[in-house]
Structure 1
């Protein structure tokens, strides 16, 4: 089944989602090539090959699970904002994640994209729960998760950053 025929989170007031494709390497570089973005998801900035591998991993996630951290765009002008999506975490439970280009921080877009993704998870996917975590220095992500009804459950070691990340759960 082609990804284009699979469901996506619905558009929000300002945002639209679509699937990553192999032609999106420049978009991926603009997102995961930004050291301000990768400082929150990895111990070191991503290299060119790591960015290409990250894009390939998202595409593979889509093929294998019908999910990915989908690229997100502004509805009005098509600007690439970042990505937001889901990954399998446990049976019936998905991990929510979002990465925004630093130029779009502070506009409420992470909350808007995440809210659309949460609605998709509990609606179309009939998820039993959602998991999310964030870098301990990322207070903005903490606020987004709390506003969306997630509750802190524990802290866990996250090897890619070498830090203990606060972890959250949300039930339907």
Structure 2
């Protein structure tokens, strides 16, 4: 990946293996994983594997999750971006999904919406996608508010990974 996006407060840049420490801090926090199946990471090696998967997505699909870095203090906030999903989810496959995950210290400050808004615009103006999808845990009110504020519309409830109750959103 050789481009960045910017918002008022954030630089959105491709994730790198050097982000492993920050990714581990974020993904080892049980609070971050409450709505993700309650399986926080237990080793930095897991973060490295996750990052390698994202780097592979960049190569295969030309898109993926990007690091969110504060412009004023150069702090790693989390990730946000588009992912091209090839496997089936909620009776869909081969679609673009918008998603985000933040370190707990950055929750409630508007960063997820700010970054997601930039990616939403990128999806339709640069990638020219027809429909953008997203999902969230059924009880994750904060994430659901962000998706609705972006303009995505609730479509249905479904179960992800055979046990996680989710809601499905689409841009149309």
With structure 1 as the length reference, what TM-score do the two structures score? Answer: 0.88
1:126 and 2:128 correspond: yes
| Kept after mapping to 2: 8 A contact 1:33/1:51 | no
Structure 2 Cα separation of the partners of residues 83 and 129 of structure 1: 21
| Pairing of 1:52-131 with structure 2 (within 5 A) | 52-89=48-85, 90-91=93-94, 93-131=95-133
1:42 partner SS? coil
2:171 equivalent in structure 1? 170
Q: The residue matched to 1:40 in structure 2 has which SS?
A: coil
Q: Tell me which of the two structures has the higher relative contact order, counting C-alpha pairs closer than 8 angstroms and 6 or more residues apart.
A: 1
List per-residue Cα deviations over 1:83-135 (Å, max 9, x = no partner): 001111345x4101000111000111111010001011111111111110111
Q: What's the CA shift string for 1:49-80, capped at 9, x where partnerless?
A: 43222122111111111111111011111111
Q: Runs of 4+ in structure 1 displaced over 6 angstroms?
A: none
Q: Indicate whether 1:26 and 2:27 are aligned.
A: no
C-alpha distance in structure 2 between counterparts of 1:137 and 1:52, whole Å: 29
Task: Provide the aligned length of Structure 1 versus Structure 2.
Answer: 164
Describe the SS at the equivalent of 2:32: helix
Instruction: After TM superposition, give the deviation of residue 39 of structure 1 in Å.
Output: 2.1
| Separation in 2, partners of 1:33, 1:144 | 23
Distance 2:69 2:30 in 1: 20
Answer yes or no: is the 8 Å Cα contact 1:38–1:46 preserved in 2: no
Aligned residues of 2:30 and 2:38 also touching (Cα < 8 A): no
**RMSD in angstroms over aligned alpha carbons?**
1.6
Residue number in structure 1 paired with 2:11: 16
Q: Is the 8 A contact 2:32 2:103 kept in 1?
A: yes
Q: Any gaps of 5 or more consecutive residues in structure 2?
A: 86-92
Gaps of 5+ in 1: none
